[in-house]
Structure 1
Amino acid sequence: MLKKCFSWFSFVFALSLVMYGNAYSNTETPPSAYPGEWNVIFHPSQTPEVPPAAYEKITLAAGTVFFEDTKPLPCDIIWEKDIPITLRDGTTIYADVFRPADNLTNLPAIVNWSPYGKSAPNPPIPVHPAEWVSGLMKYEGADAAYWCNNGYAVVNPDSRGANNSEGKIHFWGSVDAADGYDVIEWIAAQEWSNTKVGLYGSSWLGTSQWFIAETQPPHLAAMAPWEAFTDVYRDHVAVGGIPDFGFIDAVGSNHKGWNVTESPAAMIQQYPFMNDYWEDKVVEVENIHVPTYAVASYYLHKHLDAFRRLGSEEKWLRVHNSFEWVDQYDPANVEDVRCFFDYYLKGIQNDWQQTPKVRMAVYNFGGEDEVDRPAEEWPLPDTTYKKYYLNAATGKLSQFNPLRSSSVSYRSKRKRGKATFTLRFNSDTDMIGFLKLRLWVEADGNDDMDLFVLVQKLNARGKDIRGASFPGNPRGYVGPEGRLRVSLRELDADKSTDFIPFQTFRNPQPLNPGEIVPVDIRIWPTGMKFNAGEQLKLTVAGHPLAPMRFIGMNVPPPETLNAGRHIIHTGGRKYKSYLQIPVVKQDRRR
């Protein structure tokens, strides 16, 4: 990101807020627009269905019920609508602020940052019981009724370009992050504020927290990102270097405002390799030092590696086996995150520091999942990375590399085209952490290959077993996936680890006829239990093997470059293809 000026800007901005409100005395401020040479593509936003911005202050009475079966408001709440906030470049955005009517000063604030619309009430997302919420929440954000009743203010901005806010809607990156910085420092200067601000929310709201936190706002005291990511290219629009923009295009097409919306979907088609634009959408999490409560699942896993690299020493991770919104609004989890915020935003000396740094779910398909398994760090410190070598002649995985080389092939464009390899566990095995696949591959009839990988669990008889279904993925969690465009196999040696290959995605290297090359494929982290006799199945194909299904969205699959046959070479001295899995010592089991 473009952040070299933030340390000086942090000091000047905080000082100017105290002395002059929104005035600036520093001419070297963070960017308010992308450099022209990036040629960023914007599309018209949808027309908003909101009246013109007009400040209004109302009181919501305790006992008010907004929707059938939702919780009544537990206290009187002051709701200030359409508060104008002037950003560093003079752009005006609007925010709604909710505060408890009986406690108007010395309040910490919870911020829900997104372009999704600040207005309330909103009906509960139809995946969890309606009685869990009041309806007084921004989409995927904090329920103001709960937080106001517990002594917090809740701030819902319409980010730049959203609805009546001026400017263009940005998809994360340096401009949007700097806007978040501005708003946090504006909040700290309000007469009702105790100067401590927290960020909260899932999905978009979770991702924006990572970007904003990297700018190091002086008054950001804690954050709680749910199910987010920190690298828009590698985690979202081009996993493995394969453009896959259907979902982000659908999201962007629904943004509302009077101007235009940035289009990462158009940008990945125009610029399919890493460049300055995509680097601007990578968070350097090592520079984040704010206390963090991160929540993830294995199917929405994107910031599990970010947590590993996070610069903060005060960080907690909880990995669940549920669905994003169900987990987020579960009353027990809301109480849990309040304990975290109470400690850091209110200074309450509760028992938060005794909370295990890592709590994880471990899937046991066909049995009972383990939930909130405690650990000291992530990845687990007593993990052993075991290599299981592929044997194309037998379709098996083994701890020993086959003495003789062999190969297996499939038609890359056919839905049934694939290669599979199985491993039977002789003893109970916990596979928790990051996986990778080393393959020796050849393209017959093409100069490139798009590879898709899936690791899943079979019972002792070889039947596929998987997790329970949930909204957003009716098939249930199948297992960890990976993908790679072979021409983009070049590794960044400085950023790769023994268990996470990190490609540069900058220098395409097409294959020559008959050329056999090694590739390292990152497979997403997981937590799975295999009982003695159960099997692991590795599948390699030319198409997605476990595509997600999203509520109300018809997301097309990625277009591949595949043609002809894919050949996988295994064994012998030259072709040591293997799957590396993280095995946790059995004495950790509880």
Structure 2
Amino acid sequence: MADNIEVLYRDSRAPEDPEVKWRGFQPGRTVLAAGSTHSPEGRPLACDIVLDRDVEMRLRDGTRIFLDVYRPDTDEPLPAVLAWSPYGKQGGFVEYDVFPGRGGVAPSATSGLEKFEGPDPAFWCAHGYAVVHVDPRGSFASEGDVQVFSPLEAQDGHDVVEWVAAQDWCADAVAMAGNSWLAVTQWMIAATRPPHLAAIAPWEGFTDVYRDYVRWGGILRLGLAETLTVMNAGRGRIEDLPGMARKYPLMNDYWRSKITDVEAVAVPAYVVASWTNSLHTRGTLDAFTRLDPSRSWLRVHNTMEWPDQYAYEGDLLAFFDHVVKGKDNGWQRTPRVRLSVLDPGGTDQVDRPEDGYPLARARETALHLDAGRNRLSTSPPAEETHADYQAETGTLTFDHVIDRDIEIVGPMKLRVWLEVDTGTDASLFVYVRKADADGQPLLSEVFEGMPCLGAHGRLRASHRELDPDLSTALSPVCAHEREQPLRPGEAVQMDIAVWPHGMALHAGERLQVVISGHDLEPGLDALVADGPAQNSGTHRIHTGGAFDSHLLVPIVTAEEAEAPAL
């Protein structure tokens, strides 16, 4: 319950369902021999690993849950790396093999012992760490009901950290690592401040379930949440996040309980983000800006979170060795920020050192929409004009020819004046991308067959009211506490947050703003969409004169002392 709000649950699938791929409840100890392999074409183990399966622990309320512990075969106490998610600690209902090309993760990049999206015991045990895989409350054989990014899940994580640290084989220090769900829960658990949590490494997660996950811009986005709810396996139930998003479309105490207090995170953090993941980019980068700058590092990569985690194991090892084991290994000289800058059609920059994020040298620059010419201009058009598109299927594109090399690095805001001819609401989907000299889009590829359309934003018009305490010039944040219906024939101002991006544009190329009434994202984003955007009739975008429709972007130029020319 959250202020008398009933939390909905659904029954979980039985772990014995063949699609779940559970290996059964088998408490006991096994020694995995050096040189052995545990998946087709997987990397062999570099050392003997002691596996304690289905180890029981009790949470503070008496609920029994089960863990697997992987350790190098030594009597020396070791720090532990904890991986937290309900996906299955011994294989489970989701794994890389279900994605085309394994989502970019080569079979030889992992051993098969890893939890999906988590650190590989084969690597970490070989470098002097134990790895702990948890089946949280309600997962598989663990008792209770699965929690979904709730305060109870964070409390359970706190309890597990302290239990692990108290084990004879543990050196009183626990770190956390992993992608997505495993990153979201790192933020949550760290915010409860377990005394023995030594460090976190959240690889692309979010910190606001409502704004980043289920109702981005007030628009239902439930494909992924629905998939994970249906696929979940356990003896009990799972919190029905999709049902709650449909039943409670506005911000309330239930959704507020799923916003992490990032300022409460006090441990060292290695934060990883990308520009191409519209599920994780905003939340990850926003969280980083709220951490203690003396204890936090950021790297923004140019690929996809799954292969990146395994490609940068050595980098994470150096971080953990320094902040967890206290090694003087040179990590302290690592730039606090390392950025990639995407250059579709050219060559990306990778691991570029920066003093901080957002970039202090980036200058807010307004590019004004001109509906009369479908262009972006550096000066506001004096004449009021408008452009229309069919709300359910149409798009509008505004572009601008770049006259010298620039970069756009950071969050953006698109302000548009919208009018509808029917109905009381509308959903807008916007993209900021680059195109070649002929106007053909130049797109980055997340992995094979999955292009990124550029920076993405969306907003339901009735949710346009901003939260003045959270909003900044480049990052408008909607309150989502009440609906403001539209009236046909009346233009309203909408400030749409376009998630952060890092993109290079060269002289002669074009910067484009695409506005649509439907989601244009292909690939994995089809999984997180939620069908029709509930649009109808015609959308009209007003520009010029009293209608200051514009894109506000953070521009970096080679001539930093001069006002940027576009």
Note whether the superposition's TM-score is higher than 0.5.
yes
Q: Residues 458 and 88 (structure 1 numbering): CA distance in 2 closer, same or farther, change over 3 Å?
A: same
User: Following the alignment from structure 1 to structure 2, what is the Cα–Cα distance between the partners of residues 262 and 469?
Assistant: 31
| Residue 377, structure 1, aligned to residue 356, structure 2 | yes
| Residue 444, structure 1, aligned to residue 418, structure 2 | no
1:325 is aligned to 306
Please show how residues 110-509 of structure 1 align to structure 2 within 5 Å.
110-119=81-90, 125=97, 126=102, 127-300=104-277, 301-302=281-282, 303-311=284-292, 313-330=294-311, 333-413=312-392, 415=393, 417-468=394-445, 470-471=447-448, 474-509=449-484
Q: Residues 44 and 174 (structure 1 numbering): CA distance in 2 closer, same or farther, change over 3 Å?
A: same
User: Following the alignment from structure 2 to structure 1, what is the Cα–Cα distance between the partners of residues 151 and 410?
Assistant: 31
User: Following the alignment from structure 1 to structure 2, what is the Cα–Cα distance between the partners of residues 549 and 156?
Assistant: 26
Percentage identity across aligned positions?
42
C-alpha offsets along residues 363-399 of structure 1, whole Å, 9 cap, x if unaligned?
Answer: 1111111111110111111110100111111111111
Quick check: 2:451–2:522 contact (8 Å CA) kept in 1? no
C-alpha offsets along residues 66-122 of structure 1, whole Å, 9 cap, x if unaligned?
Answer: 2332221111111111111110111010001111112x3321000000111111599
Aligned with residue 491 of structure 2, among 516, 520, 528: 516
Per-residue deviation at 1:55?
2.8
Per-residue deviation at 1:152?
0.5
2:76 is aligned to 105
Per-residue deviation at 1:39?
1.2
Per-residue deviation at 1:459?
0.5
2:12 is aligned to 45
| Residue 533, structure 1, aligned to residue 504, structure 2 | no
Aligned residue type for 2:62: G
C-alpha offsets along residues 498-523 of structure 1, whole Å, 9 cap, x if unaligned?
Answer: 11001100110112232221110000
| Residue 571, structure 1, aligned to residue 539, structure 2 | no
User: Following the alignment from structure 1 to structure 2, what is the Cα–Cα distance between the partners of residues 528 and 289?
Assistant: 32
Q: Residues 516 and 200 (structure 1 numbering): CA distance in 2 closer, same or farther, change over 3 Å?
A: same
User: Following the alignment from structure 2 to structure 1, what is the Cα–Cα distance between the partners of residues 542 and 238?
Assistant: 46
User: Following the alignment from structure 1 to structure 2, what is the Cα–Cα distance between the partners of residues 450 and 390?
Assistant: 19
Matched residue of 1:93: which SS?
Answer: strand
- Give the length in aligned residue pairs: 546
RMSD of Structure 2 on Structure 1 (CA): 1.9
Q: Residues 537 and 477 (structure 1 numbering): CA distance in 2 closer, same or farther, change over 3 Å?
A: same
C-alpha offsets along residues 195-224 of structure 1, whole Å, 9 cap, x if unaligned?
Answer: 111010001111111111111111111011
Per-residue deviation at 1:285?
1.0
Quick check: 1:84–1:94 contact (8 Å CA) kept in 2? yes
Matched residue of 2:255: which SS?
Answer: helix
| Residue 55, structure 1, aligned to residue 27, structure 2 | yes
Per-residue deviation at 1:559?
3.0
Quick check: 2:23–2:91 contact (8 Å CA) kept in 1? no
Per-residue deviation at 1:311?
4.3
Aligned with residue 87 of structure 1, among 56, 59, 74: 59
Q: Residues 555 and 167 (structure 1 numbering): CA distance in 2 closer, same or farther, change over 3 Å?
A: same
Aligned with residue 96 of structure 1, among 61, 64, 68: 68
Matched residue of 1:476: which SS?
Answer: strand
1:6 is aligned to none
Aligned residue type for 2:515: V
TM-score (norm 1): 0.89
Quick check: 1:318–1:372 contact (8 Å CA) kept in 2? yes
Quick check: 2:405–2:557 contact (8 Å CA) kept in 1? no
Structure 1: stretches of 5+ with no match in the other structure: 1-33
Matched residue of 2:246: which SS?
Answer: helix
Per-residue deviation at 1:587?
5.4
| Residue 560, structure 1, aligned to residue 533, structure 2 | yes
Quick check: 1:245–1:558 contact (8 Å CA) kept in 2? no
Per-residue deviation at 1:468?
2.9
User: Following the alignment from structure 1 to structure 2, what is the Cα–Cα distance between the partners of residues 123 and 481?
Assistant: 27
C-alpha offsets along residues 263-286 of structure 1, whole Å, 9 cap, x if unaligned?
Answer: 111111111111111111111212
Per-residue deviation at 1:289?
1.7
User: Following the alignment from structure 1 to structure 2, what is the Cα–Cα distance between the partners of residues 312 and 39?
Assistant: 39
Matched residue of 2:306: which SS?
Answer: helix
C-alpha offsets along residues 110-167 of structure 1, whole Å, 9 cap, x if unaligned?
Answer: 0000111111599865232222222121111111111111111111110000000000
User: Following the alignment from structure 1 to structure 2, what is the Cα–Cα distance between the partners of residues 234 and 450?
Assistant: 15
Aligned residue type for 1:246: G
User: Following the alignment from structure 1 to structure 2, what is the Cα–Cα distance between the partners of residues 71 and 588?
Assistant: 47
TM-score (norm 2): 0.93
Per-residue deviation at 1:187?
1.0
Aligned residue type for 2:83: N
User: Following the alignment from structure 1 to structure 2, what is the Cα–Cα distance between the partners of residues 457 and 494?
Assistant: 32
Q: Residues 52 and 418 (structure 1 numbering): CA distance in 2 closer, same or farther, change over 3 Å?
A: closer
C-alpha offsets along residues 226-266 of structure 1, whole Å, 9 cap, x if unaligned?
Answer: 12111111111111011111111011211110111111111
Matched residue of 1:37: which SS?
Answer: coil
Aligned residue type for 2:72: P
User: Following the alignment from structure 2 to structure 1, what is the Cα–Cα distance between the partners of residues 445 and 187?
Assistant: 30
